[in-house]
A and B are shown apart, each in its own frame.
Chain A
Amino acid sequence: MSNNITAQDDVLDRTKPPKPGPPKDVQFPEYFDTTLPNGINILVIENNKIPAVSVRMVFKDAGSFYDGDKYGLASLTAEMLTKGTSNRTATQIAEEIDFVGGSINAGSDWDGSYISLSVLRKHLNTGIEILADVAQNPVFEDEELSRVKEQRLSSILQGKDDAGHLSDKRFNKVVYGTLPYSNPAEGTEETVKKITKADLQEFYKMNYYSGNLIIAFVGDITKEEALKITEEKFNKLPREGINRVNSYKFDENSSAKKVYIINKPGAVQSNLRVGHIGIPRNNPDFIAVTIMNTILGGYFGSRINYNLREKHGFTYGARSYFNPHLYSGDFSVDTDVRNEVTDTSVTLIIEELKRITTEEITDEELTTVKNYMTGVFPLQLETANAVASRVINLKLYNLPKDYYSKYISAINALTKQDILNAAKNYIKPENITIVVSGDAGAVKDKLSKFGEVQVFDADGNKIN
């Protein structure tokens, strides 16, 4: 169907943006939240826009943070869940879930381990059977483990080609100091080779128990169905794991203005990280810090992106991040710039860090960021899975239940002074670490003005 329309003749003033109508109220979707006697926390985010269901099992505080000196242990344990159970071989698991067009993935991050299922509603039973099996009956068979380890070793090897990956590794190592977050979560060649079946079994026993399990059901499913499934299919895990006492010191890292170069001879760009220790996810100032960081470097219209990309054309893009974990976090400015302007870019970044900690932002900056955050909020609620991630994070990071229903009003209440305070408290221009992955020959001398320079190779060995 197609019809022609004639243009109207009324005079149109294009010089000013048209006035918006009244904004519609955006409510964070309601969800069901209960805890069973065995400790499993069930969340149901019902949404029947599409006839599909996702189920996410998250084991809280059960991630790489507890790798000990066996870096890579949490992630290998999670990866091995789908590689064989007492009922199914790895091949059977893959074949059965693939056949119904679904997917099951298991993995871990610093603060948790997870298994997720995604399947059409009509194949939910098949999906649940496999999910329950891999979560509760993994066998960690030796032959499968050696395959997974070979894959991991090759991915560690490949990581040495990736400038961003090399920068992240060095940055974390320096900034987190004695905290486990300083270690590579994927492991190293040495640690991965040493990890055994017994290590995986032990990690599984300690961390995969019903008392720290969240199961989120998302999509075309009712709370009654979700409860019934959980009670009938996920009742085999022990109630408790092994209690651990966390004895790490979460004080601020003290390294000041040191420069670390990972040498990539012939690199045509420098991959930069400029930053320092940040904040844990449940820091009460998190929203103020997020808004402050958005203005500083968190979105396309930020000061740092404007300065480095739109004003100077030094880079395809520059961003800053507060990357929060359960117990700590980091702050960094990340960008890739051409070799010749590496030091100039660092200078510009430092100037921006100083400016946000010393001067109030403008009224326009504050209005823009508030409007932007409010405007894009509904986009973050468009899919049931996006809503689920937020609800799960409330649980993982011990945030209040009304966090998202109050999120917009919390943003709108912030003042210029609040933003300045957040910057003063959490951005430390005098305490930055500078990491550059690039051609040391081309950039080293010019970087020495920022502090002592140390050069490393891709394997992490010091070479000067």
Chain B
Amino acid sequence: MQETITDKQVIFSEHTLKNGLKIILAPDNSIPAVAVNLCYHVGSKNEDKDKRGYAHLFEHLMFEGSKNIPPGDYDRLSLQAGCENNAYTTEDKTNYYLLTPSHQLEFGLWLESDRMLEFSVTEESLRVQKGVVIEEKKQVFDNRPYGSVSLKFAPLLFDNNGYSWDTIGNVNDIKKAALADVKEFYEKYYVPNNAVLTLAGDFEPEEALRLTEKYFGPVSSGKYDQDELKKRVSFTDKPIAKEIRKVIYDDVQLPGLFGAYKIPEENSDEFFVFDILTDILSTGESSRLYNELVYKKQMVSDIGCWVEGRELTGLLHYYAILLPGVRIDEVQNEIDRIFNDAVEGKITERELTKIKNRIETRNIYRLQTNLSKADMLSHFKTFYNTPGMINSNLSRYMSVTLDDIQNAAKKYLSGSGRVILEYLPKEEKNKFSKN
């Protein structure tokens, strides 16, 4: 018998092991599989200034062996058990997941707990994974049109904290990483009292809890005081005082415009307001930016804006890829005019209702898979100690009003600073220098 998500919310229970590991169990027997999601509360913002990229490099190393798992065996054994695995790193967290057939849940917990138990990476693995990460940076950032946007943005948006560099880090820092450095990183952050383990899928909760306790219970909480560690990551930030504009000549055919404003952090009321506003402006072909600049005026081939929520800040991004012959300042003026409509209270009730309908749909589709549920539960627990946000966030969106939108737009978009990157084809530079 299937349950309908709007009628019954996501059901879960919370537990804490003695060593501080927080556990969330969300049973759902739609398919015979379980998502095992482990979120460590450490990301690139925790890195030292000369060790940029270590959190992400470390994510790679976590697949390279642990106390009882020799190098290469994490993946080999996981495939043999019929599991899918992967991980990702952000500025604020490092998230690992394993999708196991339900009869292999115990295997999954064994495999995952071993790499929380004891670090065991070799010089050889470190050398190879540095190479992999450097190629990852080239493939994703350097060798792709407009691929360097986030690398350029970070130091311009933030000048004195862990958000001043992109998660991928710095190639020279990565090359320098020694085994002792990564071991220290592990001992600081890869401990049960800095992690949330979520299981979502086909299991019996009491049995699952017994198994998590069996495998994770004996892991020690480490020698560092987590509260002290968090305090030492000093985070000071200030608003951007004025407009910072930078021109980048790149291997691109069409000019691209990329902008960002600072807004309040992920879980703030205003963040929800901006999530709605950016959808009003750019989601769907009837949205303002698309309708006016792609459709009516045919100035750009692609345009969008969205919010990026982080633990300690928020960003409102926008971008446009220009059609041939269109000038960047013309497009910027149009975007500013449309943003200014929001500041002046010209967003309509119909637009707001439309986006609330869209968000309701989006919310329902997000709860379709075990992995997506587990990821959200881990996230909300890690940062807000409130996994129930998976059910309650929708009402925060639904309560946003037109006044909220105007107030937030006024406060953060009008007259405040922002960072703008203009990507121009390399030939333009040559033309310019010839003149």
Contact = CB atoms under 8 A, between A and B. Distances in A.
A24 B102 contact: yes
Given A5-B213, A154-B324, A383-B368, A311 B128 contact: yes
B103 to A, nearest CB: 4
Given A5-B17, A154-B301, A337-B135, A316 B30 contact: no
A21 B143 contact: no
Contacts, number: 251
B18 A371 contact: no
Contacts of A123: 357
Contact of B130 (A310, A311, A313): A313
Interface in A359-387: 364, 367-369, 371-376, 378-379, 381-383
Interface residues of A, number: 88
Given A4-B16, A314-B131, A157 B32 contact: no
B251 A266 contact: yes
A120 interface: yes
B253 A378 contact: no
B114 A24 contact: no
Interface in A141-164: 147, 150-151, 154-155, 157-158, 160-163
Contacts of A52: 361, 364-365
A5 B143 CA distance: 50
B368 A316 contact: no
B284 A94 contact: yes
B46 interface: no
A336 B101 contact: no
B428 interface: no
B3 A336 contact: no
A1 B14 contact: yes
Contact of B323 (A5, A150, A367, A378): A150
Counting contact residues on chain B (CB < 8 A from A), the size range is: 35 or more
A161 B253 contact: yes
Given A51-B5, A269-B135, A336-B143, A17 B14 contact: no
Nearest to A103: B284
B254 A157 contact: yes
B386 to A, nearest CB: 11
Nearest to A147: B298
A237 interface: no
A158 B103 contact: no
Contacts of B129: 313
Contact of B143 (A268, A376, A378): A268
A26 interface: yes
Given A50-B368, A154-B254, A99 B132 contact: no
Contacts of B354: 98-99, 101
A12 interface: yes
Nearest to A157: B253
Nearest to A305: B75
Contact of A147 (B127, B136, B209, B295): B295
A5 B136 contact: no
A461 interface: no
A269 B143 contact: yes
A50 B358 contact: no
Contacts of B72: 310
A7 interface: yes
Nearest to A376: B84
A102 B361 contact: yes
Interface stretch (B36-44, B104-112, B179-187, B240-248): B104-112
A194 B136 CA distance: 40
Interface string A278-318: 00000000000000000000011100000001111111100
B323 A158 contact: no
Given A99-B350, A316-B132, A376-B99, A338 B138 contact: yes
Interface of B: 2-6, 13-19, 30-33, 67-68, 72, 75-77, 79-84, 99-104, 106-107, 110-111, 114, 117, 127-132, 134-136, 138-140, 142-145, 202, 209, 213-215, 217-218, 251-254, 283-287, 291, 294-295, 298, 301, 321, 323-324, 350, 353-354, 357-362, 364-365, 367-370
Given A15-B68, A118-B361, 14 more contacts: A3-B16, A6-B18, A18-B107, A21-B106, A23-B32, A49-B4, A51-B4, A52-B361, A120-B361, A313-B127, A315-B139, A375-B82, A379-B31, A382-B370
27 contacts: A5-B15, A5-B217, A7-B218, A14-B67, A14-B117, A20-B103, A21-B103, A49-B3, A49-B368, A51-B5, A51-B6, A98-B283, A98-B354, A150-B323, A151-B294, A154-B301, A161-B251, A299-B79, A301-B79, A313-B127, A337-B135, A368-B80, A371-B82, A372-B80, A372-B83, A374-B82, A382-B370
Q: Which 5 A-B pairs have the closest CB atoms?
A: A375-B82, A313-B131, A7-B217, A101-B357, A94-B285
